[in-house]
Structure 1
Amino acid sequence: MNGIIRIKIFPLFFLAIALIFFSGCTTSKKYSGFTSVRKYQKNSPFIFKNNITLTAPDLSKDDKVTVNSKLNTQLDDSAKVKVTDAFFIFHKITKPPAFDTSAVIRSANNMKTAMVNLGYYNPKVSYTYDTVIHRNGQKRVIINYSVIAGIRTLVDTLAYLFSNPELEKLALSTKKESLLQKNTPVTKSAIQFETGRLVDLYRNNGYYKFTADEIRVTGDTSIEALTSVAEDPFEQLRLLEEASQKRDKPTIRLGFQLNNLPDSSKLQKYYIDNIYVLPDYVPGEQYTDSSLQEHISTNYITRYHQRLYKFYIPGTHLYLKKGDVFSQDNYLKTINGFYKLGAWESPTIDILEKKDTNLLDIVIKLNPIKKYAFEGNIELSYSANTTTTISTSNSGNLLGVAGNLSLTNRNLWEQAARMTNAVRAGVEFNTAHRNSNGTLINSTEIGYTNNILFPKFVTPFKKLNRKKLLTKQTFINTNLSLINRIDFFDQQIFNIGLGYNWTNKENHIWSYKPFNFDYRRIYNRSESFDSTLKLYPFLRYSFNTALVMGQSLSYSSTYINPKNPKLVGNLKANLEESGLIWGLLKQRKKTPQNGNFFNQYLKEFIKTDIKYTYTINHPRSAIVFGAFAGVGIPLSKSDTTLPFFKQYFGGGPNSMRAWPVRGIGVGGQPLAAYSNSLFNDRTGDIQLEGNAEYRFNVAPLFSNAIFFKMALFTDIGNIWNFKNTTPDGTNDPTQFKFKNLYKQLGVASGVGFRFDFTYFLIRFDVGLRFKRPDVPENDGWQIPNVTLKHLFGTSLSDREWRYQNFNATIGIDYPF
């Protein structure tokens, strides 16, 4: 083996698993490795370790982890052991607490109370302790807590016993929303949730002063079978058996009642009277100040110093209405609406009771934010093992750096509209090789963007603005860019789009773009680029000057399981078309060669895709699954593929991470030769991809300023073309066919290293290809022959191995 140490892939995974093991042991305080103790009391026993054993047969494995974590928090402060870790196996205890049985007893009682709050009303908590004399004379005390949960008490019936008929009617009408359903555990959190739900329900129906103090909860655990007398002996036996079963499965009858309070105003229904809006509020001033000017609208009164905003603007985000019963939800929607608008900082609403009435005056105080904002940022990207330059040995690593500067006007035309002007400049370096001009630069980009966002629907249909949605926005986006792909081509981009965003309920966002004009011109094409187009026909159809004119609709939502908040789902869906309407501008019976501008450049297609991620969160880890499916269908006979800027691609920091950006596919298309001087971007009309990632915490760094995390991941997928792209119609390895799907799927696995700075996360992912769609043998399956020389060597064969089997990327935030 020429002295080369060969490391198969499996030991890499064993190493990652070992890291998980050490990380998990550290957080659970079951120390593996070496533990040192500093600043302890000499010749006195001190607490070295707390072990908690939970016995609860009715809990799942994940629930046991959660309950164990909660029990650890119940340790008395005088019994807690603080441990710091280094390199996973070295642990340090500083100032361990002196052993005190009273602290241990308090900890046991705290655990018992915690179990009661979880619905275990007869838990048994005991403890033992052992003293270990260490070789240096330390008296280390190990405390073992045993928590036997017992049987959880379940809900038998739930009743609302309010003396106020309307309150009782409201509660009964929403009973299905309660967490306290029959045969569910009676926990403290469930009772608190139900109390809070009832308070919110009443405050949303006019009972403005209603609080949790007005509610008390009663419970009855008596077993009717033990107090009933039956003449029939068989019936008596049946009742006794029922009583025995209820002892094994204890239940409780719950009742929610009104406290007997003398303040009857808390049970009074309130209505909204006058609404005052102060759009240029100065902290400390009163809405009754005589120096304020006044403007009366249909639903509210504006009082102001200067006219900074159009008078209708507050009304577009006002969910409270004169004459309506008070609603807490509408109150919160109004605050959130003004806050999301971004024109005012910290909006507040005062509620004023009118004496001797059940009427409320509403005063909305809006402190204007600074009109102009300036922002700048830098973007960084990295991808290894790509071929995008025409030098003799053209494979290298791409490092991209881009800078953005923007100026935002937050109150355009006195309409609380936002206009952002931004410039962008970027450069991509090939860190391994130079291009034909002798420079390291692979591509450059410069661009200007103008975005305008109105806080309403700009449309002739006024009824749309009257509809009460959580958000309503109109956007106009314009972009001008110039991109130079050195040694290949130059590209000019002009894009303008008009659209609408709206939210009908929390975590559900819609966006509709009725007009999108996107023109991209390719010019100054090099001979090398033209020769590539001749060799690969599918590129010839993609990389042309093209115009997209059409509509698009997108939807995104986030779902958090109310019964299990650690389960989170995210869905994004898009639908786009071009040329279905604007295609009428083409001259009839004309070809792209002899027709007008639209005949020559307007592309006709339909494109749709959907992305779904599902996250299972744990206290110190998470399992995340992702799925993506997208397809674009060229409609024109003269177009074999979508325009390249509308096609899908795989590889890079967020997709198929074992391949470089635009490095996988198309279909079973072979990789370009390592020393090939041809353009090698790979894009397609269809993309299928699935991802799985196990993320886990490792250790805090630099006094908790940064948290080091890791991940194990697997990516599966590829891209394809929808139509046959060969000029003569022969078999096309880039065309999607179900019979070839399995053969042409790429499979990769790897390890990720993440540095979480709280506000953003920097990610380093390293992936190896276990199934290559470009290799026909064994359907592409392989075990990469990983060696240290292959990973870090500088020879041509080592670089070629990395080009064919390996990729490393840098990314910002999580990939999905």
Structure 2
Amino acid sequence: MLLIGKRVVLEYGILTVLFMILLHSCSVQQRTTVRNYPTDKPFVYSNKINIINDLPKDEKKRLTYELENYWDDSLRVRLAQRYLVRYRLNKPPVFDSSNLDRSMNFMKAYLNSQGYFYPNFKDSVFIDTVKDQLRTYVIMDISTGKNITIDSVSYSFQDAALNALVQSEISKSLLKKGGRYTKQVIGDELDRLTNLFRQNGYYNFSRDDLRAVVDTLDKELLQLTLDPFKQAQLITDAAKKRNENPSWDINITTTRNLTDSTGLHQFSFGNIYYYPETKLYDIPDSVRRRTDFIVDTFSTGIMKYKQNVFRFRPMRDHTYFKRGDKYNEADYFKTINTLGQLGAWQQVDAILEPRNNDSLDVHIFLVPAIKQSVATELEGSRNSGDVITGNTLGISMNLTYNNKNRWKQAIQQQTVLRTGVELNLLNQTNNPIFQTFLVSASHTYAFPRILTPFRSWGSSKKIENKKTLLTLNGSYIDRRNFYKVNSCTASIGYEWRTRKRNGDHLWLYKPLNVELYGITRLAGLDDLIQKNPFLQASFNEGNIVSQSLSFISTSTGRLNRNRSHYFRVGIEEAGGLFGLLPGLRNNIYRYIKTETEYRQVTRYDQSELAYRAFAGVGYNYGNDPRIGRTLPFFKQFIAGGPYSM
């Protein structure tokens, strides 16, 4: 039987490979049907772009993919996929040769934006008659020519302070000598400079105040000579240089005279006003002019309120600038976004009010979220694959209480109560109708700051979404005739985030995690373990006192913005110190566990391609045979499943 099974698997494997080869050998056109086509007129059935000059493989693939978007609308082939392997072309456009020139112009403009300024195009058109269809195939052969490189980069501003600021950050310039010239990289450099100025006090400076001057002329052509032969030689050499190694000079300057403009005025943050009880329908200017508020003045800001619903601290801790700092646009928007993410306010807006041509008063309007909410959920599930009890029906009810402003400090509190039963349907196995009873409760506090006795994290601008998490859980499960499980877990953890250029980093550190478990074995479980000794490892009784650290990095690709990366690494250590205590030595697990995970997702127009890699190592260095020398079953690794990607 084993040989027959292997033979069947081999035959199916060979048939699958042959089918894939046959499918690949059939082009898309051979698997395409046409509907509602024009009769007695040629219509666009296929278009193709060929880049015929030598380019790196990845660059040629990228350009070919992007150029497909620059066909004229009347030359596009819109295929609809059907049954995974079939395609349908519905209402194809009539072919018109005049649209070829328009497509060339679109493609040339795109290539120019990518630094290819000397492309050549050659189109080929042929018509294939299939029954009464005049199928037109359009092929565009493109020689992109050499990519323009950057010969030199210079910055010239009339203001000495601007020049000094640019030179201090010159290492971060996106324009490098010998680098590729594209309109995108120039635009990105202008954006970088604009952000640089607006992060150093230049509130009125905008991108429209900058321009890039590109010099495309060969300097050798400017040499004065009366010799016509030498002049002809200079022109020939310039043309040869343009074809072999074209390069241009770039100068970044201002679009107008800013000497007397407010664009050169540096501003500092002035007074900071907070309105934490703003109504959703309030007009900010009207709120700002009201005089009936209670006003509390602090060294870092002014809070105006009427009902004393919020303390000042959560607003202070999540404001990333202070009075007297130079205006920094990044810190300004970071403050607004962070306050809006705390949960205590559903909407956060702000207004900047110039004062004396050198100060900006900040008015922050915070609309409170609904403070308290209660939700109930009723869930049902059916299990028809239980080999012991047959068909079972599970019914559970959840009661959730949320408080988004505990103790007036934007502390998030959540309490969840859950109870449920599992019923033996139709009493098929002569077991009691009640099979399982469970009840659990959890209580969580999320403080909007890092609570430590030795350091204040409030002033760190690089750290965002700072949280301290306190969690307490308890549960009781009664699996009738098999076991009873009591559990209690408690933990304290810190969570924070740091921003990076193309993504962010998330850290989660739990200095203390306590998990207590108690199992009462009943006769039914003992019988199962005798029949299947491997179940013994799943019901080891032991407790955990551990600490853990997790790091998660998410980013998008620099060259392909449709590609995202996810990287996670975590380490957990249990019993290293507490396991040395005599009273705990034989009652808690002692192990170290580390795991890492990587995901990559590439998004296309109608699909996604996902990769995932996971690896983990766990080692139990405890020597207590009662607890076991393996990891606790609830800490072991699980691979696969429908949600693994």
TM-score of the superposed pair, with normalisation by structure 1: 0.67
- 1:641 aligned to which of 618, 629, 633: 629
Shift in Å at residue 397 of structure 1? 12
Q: What does residue 521 of structure 1 align with?
A: 518
> Any conservation in 1 of the 2:578–2:585 contact (CA below 8 Å)?
no
Letter in 1 for 2:497: T
> Any conservation in 2 of the 1:226–1:243 contact (CA below 8 Å)?
no
* 1: CA distance, partners of 2:378 / 2:158: 63
Aligned-partner SS, 1:96: coil
Q: What does residue 229 of structure 2 align with?
A: none
* 2: CA distance, partners of 1:64 / 1:358: 52
Q: What does residue 415 of structure 1 align with?
A: 409
Residues 1:273 and 1:152: Cα distance change in structure 2 (over 3 Å): same
Shift in Å at residue 489 of structure 1? 2.6
Q: What does residue 801 of structure 1 align with?
A: none
Deviation string for 1:422-461 (max 9, x for gaps)?
2446789999x987838897x7754322221111123444
Deviation string for 1:698-738 (max 9, x for gaps)?
xxxxxxxxxxxxxxxxxxxxxxxxxxxxxxxxxxxxxxxxx
Question: Are residue 631 (structure 1) and residue 618 (structure 2) matched?
Answer: yes
> Any conservation in 1 of the 2:484–2:520 contact (CA below 8 Å)?
yes
Backbone CA RMSD of aligned residues: 4.2
Q: What does residue 47 of structure 1 align with?
A: 44
Question: Are residue 608 (structure 1) and residue 616 (structure 2) matched?
Answer: no
Aligned-partner SS, 1:205: coil
> Any conservation in 2 of the 1:208–1:326 contact (CA below 8 Å)?
yes
* 2: CA distance, partners of 1:403 / 1:447: 11
Letter in 2 for 1:449: S
Residues 1:108 and 1:484: Cα distance change in structure 2 (over 3 Å): farther
Question: Are residue 509 (structure 1) and residue 498 (structure 2) matched?
Answer: no
Shift in Å at residue 206 of structure 1? 0.9
TM-score of the superposed pair, with normalisation by structure 2: 0.84
Question: Are residue 448 (structure 1) and residue 448 (structure 2) matched?
Answer: no
Aligned-partner SS, 1:546: coil
- 2:542 aligned to which of 539, 546, 554: 546
Residues 1:397 and 1:247: Cα distance change in structure 2 (over 3 Å): farther
Deviation string for 1:325-356 (max 9, x for gaps)?
011110121022112212222312211222x4
Q: What does residue 301 of structure 2 align with?
A: 300
Q: What does residue 154 of structure 2 align with?
A: 159
Question: Are residue 195 (structure 1) and residue 190 (structure 2) matched?
Answer: yes
Q: Which consecutive residues of structure 1, in runs of 5 or more, have no partner in the other structure?
A: 231-236, 588-597, 658-808
* 1: CA distance, partners of 2:554 / 2:544: 31
* 2: CA distance, partners of 1:115 / 1:265: 38
Shift in Å at residue 322 of structure 1? 0.6
Question: Are residue 337 (structure 1) and residue 338 (structure 2) matched?
Answer: yes
Shift in Å at residue 292 of structure 1? 2.3
Shift in Å at residue 55 of structure 1? 3.1
Q: What does residue 265 of structure 1 align with?
A: 262
Letter in 2 for 1:204: Q
Letter in 1 for 2:145: G
Shift in Å at residue 241 of structure 1? 8.6
> Any conservation in 2 of the 1:389–1:487 contact (CA below 8 Å)?
no
> Any conservation in 2 of the 1:19–1:88 contact (CA below 8 Å)?
no
> Any conservation in 2 of the 1:118–1:188 contact (CA below 8 Å)?
yes
Aligned-partner SS, 2:165: helix
Shift in Å at residue 319 of structure 1? 0.7
Q: How does 1:414-563 map to 2 (within 5 A)?
A: 414-424=408-418, 437=431, 446-461=439-454, 463-468=456-461, 469-484=463-478, 488-506=482-500, 507-526=504-523, 528-529=525-526, 532=529, 536=533, 540=536, 543-563=539-559
* 1: CA distance, partners of 2:397 / 2:14: 41
> Any conservation in 2 of the 1:223–1:243 contact (CA below 8 Å)?
no
* 1: CA distance, partners of 2:317 / 2:150: 45
Deviation string for 1:184-243 (max 9, x for gaps)?
21111111111111111111111112111111111223445666799xxxxxx9x99999
* 1: CA distance, partners of 2:380 / 2:149: 55
Letter in 2 for 1:370: I
* 2: CA distance, partners of 1:618 / 1:184: 28
> Any conservation in 2 of the 1:556–1:571 contact (CA below 8 Å)?
yes
Residues 1:413 and 1:191: Cα distance change in structure 2 (over 3 Å): same
Aligned-partner SS, 2:205: coil
* 2: CA distance, partners of 1:485 / 1:188: 68
Aligned-partner SS, 1:103: helix
Q: What does residue 802 of structure 1 align with?
A: none
Letter in 1 for 2:616: A
How much identity, in percent, do the aligned residues show? 26
Q: What does residue 177 of structure 2 align with?
A: 182
- 2:273 aligned to which of 273, 276, 292: 276
Q: How does 1:130-169 map to 2 (within 5 A)?
A: 130-135=126-131, 137-169=132-164
Shift in Å at residue 273 of structure 1? 0.7
Residues 1:293 and 1:11: Cα distance change in structure 2 (over 3 Å): farther
Deviation string for 1:267-286 (max 9, x for gaps)?
22111111111111123142
Residues 1:13 and 1:352: Cα distance change in structure 2 (over 3 Å): farther
Shift in Å at residue 377 of structure 1? 7.7
Residues 1:562 and 1:47: Cα distance change in structure 2 (over 3 Å): closer
> Any conservation in 1 of the 2:265–2:357 contact (CA below 8 Å)?
no
* 2: CA distance, partners of 1:401 / 1:138: 62
Letter in 2 for 1:473: K
> Any conservation in 2 of the 1:422–1:448 contact (CA below 8 Å)?
yes
Count of residues paired in the alignment: 622
Question: Are residue 570 (structure 1) and residue 566 (structure 2) matched?
Answer: yes
* 1: CA distance, partners of 2:119 / 2:433: 73
> Any conservation in 1 of the 2:445–2:471 contact (CA below 8 Å)?
yes
Shift in Å at residue 122 of structure 1? 0.8
> Any conservation in 2 of the 1:557–1:570 contact (CA below 8 Å)?
yes
Letter in 2 for 1:612: E
* 2: CA distance, partners of 1:326 / 1:570: 34
Deviation string for 1:12-51 (max 9, x for gaps)?
75489579969x97xxxx434241222x445444333322
Q: What does residue 709 of structure 1 align with?
A: none
> Any conservation in 2 of the 1:550–1:581 contact (CA below 8 Å)?
no
